[in-house]
């Protein structure tokens, strides 16, 4: 019996090849060991952390409407502002 699409327990080169193929097919970007090693060695030689994001990373500059569902099942929309 397999759970959650698992093909077995533990890591195998064959299992990783299937994961890698699915990730690439779906455009999922991930770090290879070589990517990790390059950044780790750079941090070590600079004696500093690696900074990948600035203050506006992620969704910091996005505006979203907040939807509040009230107890009486009515819905109201509140426009929020960026902090």
What pLDDT score does 40 carry? 93
Q: Which of 17, 16, 40, 19 lies closest to 28 in space, CA to CA? A: 19
Instruction: Write the Ramachandran bin of 59: left for phi over 0, alpha for psi from -120 to 50, otherwise beta.
Output: alpha
pTM of the full predicted structure? Answer: 0.43
> Would you say 23 and 30 are in contact if contact means Cβ atoms under 8 Å apart?
yes
Tokens of 77: 């929309």
d(CA 20, CA 65): 37
Residue-by-residue pLDDT tens, the chain, 83 positions: 344 555 566 789 989 899 989 999 999 988 889 999 999 999 999 898 888 888 888 888 888 888 888 876 655 555 555 55
């Amino acid at each position: 019996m397999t759970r959650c699409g698992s093909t077995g327990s533990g890591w195998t080169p064959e299992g990783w090849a299937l994961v890698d193929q699915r990730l690439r097919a779906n455009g999922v970007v991930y770090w290879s060991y070589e990517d990790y090693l390059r950044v780790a060695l750079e941090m070590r030689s600079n004696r500093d952390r690696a900074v990948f994001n600035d203050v506006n990373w992620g969704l910091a500059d996005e505006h979203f409407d907040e939807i509040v569902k009230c107890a009486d099942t009515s819905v109201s929309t509140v426009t929020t502002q960026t902090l």
